[in-house]
Structure 1
Amino acid sequence: MIRIAVTSAQNPEKPTAMEPSGQQSLWTAIILAGQRPEVDAMAPHSNGGYKALIPIAGQTMLERVARALMASSDIGRIVIMGQSPATLKAGLHPDLVEKGNITFVESHDGIAASIHGIIGTERAPWPVLATTADNPLLTEEILDCFFQAHDGQDVAVGVVERQTMLAAYPDARRTWLKFRGGAYSGANLFALHNEAAKPAVDFWSMVEQDRKKGWKIFAHFGPWLLLRAITRTIGFRQAMAKAGRRMNLRAEPIVLPIAEAAIDVDKPSDLELVTGILSAREG
């Protein structure tokens, strides 16, 4: 069940957003559970055409993500977005809907456009954490690491460094963003802290189709940053900071020490890997 207690015992000095009462603001978690317009490699495995409802070891991917978010003391409410909210709601165990502070919102075309319409409103007040339903290895531990590292950035993106991944899963095939000092794979965790984050969401709506090609994204910030990214003469943190300044916001990556944070389900081999991990984890 989502906990309403507002504490930060593991990191008492961590800066936090504060409500007028002096309490820490809990995060709104948005689970992106819609279908992309392109052909999905996971369609044959989906339940009724919805990738989010693929069952793994007894629970759908959506349910696993929702339960992980409910277990976090940093999360105050959950919004599930998809083209068919009724289908998604029917795919969850009834106790999740009854006990959790969960609402369902119909999504529009494009992830960024859907998020932009509700962030900062009564349905999804700041601060906002966006994640995806194909992230079934998400755990309370991963969320704790992410929130403990967040220190007020307007936009923060969870990533895992390649050496962390290969040390745990040497055969794992991920998409890597390569920079000076390391290569990184996304963890599908995006912190949008306040109103200043909205330009980043607007920007993402323009480049969403290039999400797997980091160099195309950085090309929008001018030839100099693109050149440095391609030649790997700039670190990931520095590159994000420069891109953020172009949008008048503070943007940083949050490097997570847990390999599973960057394993989502985009293809059948991912589903096989995740099924094996969860089966071993849950006995």
Structure 2
Amino acid sequence: MDAIVIAGGIPLPEEPLYPYTQGHPKAMLDLAGKPMIQWVLDALSEATTIENVVITGLTEKSGVTCKKTLYFIPNQGKMLDNIRAGAKKVMEINKQAEHVLIVSSDIPTIKGEMVDWIVNAAMETDEDVYYNVISREVMEKRFPGSKRTYTHLEGMDVCGGDMNMARASLVAGEVGLWEQITNARKSPLKQAALIGFDTLFLLLLRRLTLEKAVEKVTKRLKITGRGILCPYAEVGMDIDKPHQLEMLRADMAKAMRRKTKTAAKLTTVRSTYSVKEPAAKKPQKKAATKAVETKAKKTIE
């Protein structure tokens, strides 16, 4: 599986994160001593299901790295244009590519095993689009007070994940309605209205299940798809607002301190219980040789 990392977002002066970015890409925001996107690339490096990684929106000058083969594509402007350019690059470097993993650069707490879970869960069926959602319960337990945008479905509230999969040829093509839905991604009501007023009505009544919502979307777009209830809050914990940035900075700093403390304890334990090997005995070769020489001398005399 090849991955596209979307990193083209540059907050405008009127947007909440501008005081932090000052005209630079959001992907390069510092978190725990690294650019935000580097944490995402580290997770992709750890994932066993990923082969190539394409970054759209940055250049080699950014200095970010990945253990997987890495490609850069300049910023194409709109998010969907960046995704489309990334998909075209994947199809260029991997002629056998059927699907691509689309990853946002602003979910820095993801890990390699989460990437593998999403890829493996999606590949259980052959669809055009796989969309991950996280329940309010899972999100609030891991990131209380994160203030995510939730869609109210029958029986549960969910927020969208920022790591999803799609058929490469579909993403690389021209999809007008898909672009409108992508642009309205932060407003479930706007998305529902684009799909149809019956969907909007059912959504307002909270009578729309996840399966039914996916069915209506895919039917409207004339594609196949599957919604996946993801158990990892980190997949949906993106950074759009200052309080979310500060929350993740604190969360990651705490994790780093915990990791350092654990490493220090392990070093202490190893030092305490290490057993020194006894010094090897010196060979008695010279002494034995001398005794033989003395005996030989007496015999001669």
Query: Shorter-chain TM-score: what band?
Result: 0.7 to 0.9
Q: CA deviation at 1:90?
A: 2.6
1:42-121 alignment to 2 at 5 Å? Answer: 42-46=17-21, 49-82=24-57, 85-86=58-59, 89-93=60-64, 96=65, 99-120=67-88, 121=91
Q: Greater Rg, structure 1 or structure 2?
A: 2
The change in CA–CA distance for 1:47 and 1:132 in structure 2 (over 3 A counts) is farther
- Report SS of the residue matched to 1:75: coil
Gaps of 5+ in 1: 1-26
1:281 maps to which residue? 255
Aligned residues: 250
AA aligned to 2:239 is V
Between the aligned partners of 2:119 and 2:226, the Cα distance in structure 1 is 13
Q: Is the CA contact (8 Å cut-off) linking 2:10 and 2:25 kept in structure 1? A: no
Between the aligned partners of 2:224 and 2:182, the Cα distance in structure 1 is 20
TM-score normalised by L of structure 1: 0.80
User: Which residue of the other structure, out of 171, 174, 195, is the alignment partner of 1:221?
Assistant: 195
Q: Which has the higher helix share?
A: 2
1:161-172 alignment to 2 at 5 Å? Answer: 161-172=135-146
User: Which residue of the other structure, out of 129, 149, 153, is the alignment partner of 2:127?
Assistant: 153
AA aligned to 1:90 is K
Between the aligned partners of 1:92 and 1:78, the Cα distance in structure 2 is 15
Between the aligned partners of 2:143 and 2:11, the Cα distance in structure 1 is 31
Between the aligned partners of 2:170 and 2:187, the Cα distance in structure 1 is 25
TM-score normalised by L of structure 2: 0.75
- Report SS of the residue matched to 1:145: helix
User: Which residue of the other structure, out of 226, 244, 251, is the alignment partner of 1:270?
Assistant: 244
- Report SS of the residue matched to 2:87: coil
Q: Is the CA contact (8 Å cut-off) linking 1:154 and 1:197 kept in structure 2? A: no
> CA offsets per residue over residues 29-60 of structure 1, 9 Å max, x none?
11110125754322222276121111111111
Identity %: 25
Between the aligned partners of 1:265 and 1:194, the Cα distance in structure 2 is 26
> CA offsets per residue over residues 6-29 of structure 1, 9 Å max, x none?
xxxxxxxxxxxxxxxxxxxxx221
AA aligned to 1:67 is D
Q: CA deviation at 1:168?
A: 2.8
Between the aligned partners of 2:132 and 2:234, the Cα distance in structure 1 is 12
AA aligned to 1:105 is I
The change in CA–CA distance for 1:201 and 1:141 in structure 2 (over 3 A counts) is farther
1:7 maps to which residue? none
- Report SS of the residue matched to 1:220: helix
Between the aligned partners of 1:207 and 1:59, the Cα distance in structure 2 is 32
Q: CA deviation at 1:200?
A: 8.9
